[in-house]
Amino acid sequence: MSDSLSRHTDYGEISLEEGSLLPDPMKQVELWLEEADQEGVYEPNAMVLSTIDPDGAPTSRTVLCRGVSPHGITFFTDYTSQKGRALAVHPEVAVVFPWYTLHRQIKIRGTVEKVSEAESDAYFDTRPRDSRIGAWASDQSQPIDSREALEQKVAQATQHFEGVELVPRPEKWGGYLIRPRSIEFWAGRRSRLHDRVRFVKEGDGWRTERLQP
């Protein structure tokens, strides 16, 4: 944990001065994720993902960031879900990490692409067995008559994989990589003159700019 974060917890006490952020925004994302975890933020890797449905309407939901690399941010889901169908038509997304108790947020805009099947397999194999069964049983985002009907589907999938040591990944399930086009770091101030510093992708590098609150 950084000294500044551990010493100051009041709203508006952790500012973003010029030069206080790492020059590589992906490294800064990793740092803030680590600090959110160390500060006890519940689900620090939870992020609000916004997509554009095939009909042009925006939709948002919370997903979990499962990896940060120089290339971008990874999350996993059902490709046939509402977000999966949206991304097949409009591979543009916006993401927010909302760390309210730290008075911080990160806003990201970018494009998505599917990760390799090998990467999806590797992550799927780390999931609890119940979660793997659930991926087979649930037609994510589709209507269902009742909770009982859903539990029946889970029971059927459980029976189907009885005796199978490692439940395999269904083809409909896998990961996406968000390749950021812009990354904004936000820190709140009591005056509402919040600090906003945005990194904009330019070629192989990043241009930084301060935004007015």
Confidence of residue 175 (pLDDT cuts 50, 70, 90): very high
The reported pLDDT for the residue numbered 137 is 95
From residue 91, how far is each of 94, 128, 176 by CA, in Å?
10, 29, 10
Q: CATH 2.30.110.10 residue ranges in the chain?
A: 3-125+171-210
pTM, whole model, 2 decimals? 0.90
- Over 90: is that where the pLDDT of 164 sits? yes
- Over 90: is that where the pLDDT of 14 sits? no
For the chain, the first-to-last Cα distance in angstroms comes to 27
The reported pLDDT for the residue numbered 7 is 40
- Over 50: is that where the pLDDT of 47 sits? yes
Query: Measured between alpha carbons, how far is 16 from 74 in angstroms, rounded to an integer?
Result: 26
Told to judge if 147 belongs to the known catalytic residues of this protein, a careful annotator would answer no
- Which one from 132, 192, 198, 207 is the annotated catalytic residue? 192
pLDDT over 70 percentage in the chain = 93
- Over 90: is that where the pLDDT of 136 sits? yes
Confidence of residue 5 (pLDDT cuts 50, 70, 90): low
CATH topology of domain 3-125+171-210: Pnp Oxidase; Chain A (2.30.110)
